[in-house]
Amino acid sequence: MPKSLYAGGKFRRHFTLSNQASNHLDSIAHSALLSRSETLERLIRATSSWEGGAMFNDQSWPFVTDYTDEAL
């Protein structure tokens, strides 16, 4: 696999995550056989701007299913 599949390459960024979210990202990455970075890249790229805006706003968020507690 090439170092970056994306035009312009990848650059280091800083994110803060709760332990639950970080553990869930680990689980998703492990299941997909990807790095955490590539998993996050693909999750972001697979979410349209309008979908993210509709799903992640403060009014909708309480109704979104939180999968961080799912059994592994």
Chain-centre distance for alpha carbon 55:
14
- For residues 40-67, give the mean pLDDT: 94
Region of residue 33 (left: phi > 0; alpha: psi -120 to 50; beta: else): left
Q: What percent of the chain lies above the pLDDT cut of 70?
A: 92
- For residues 42-49, give the mean pLDDT: 95
Residue in the block written with tokens 């979410």: 47
What local confidence, expressed as pLDDT, does residue 71 receive? 56
User: Which residues, in sequence order, are CB contacts of 56 under 8 Å at separation 6+?
Assistant: 64
Integer Cα distance of 61 and 55 in angstroms? 6
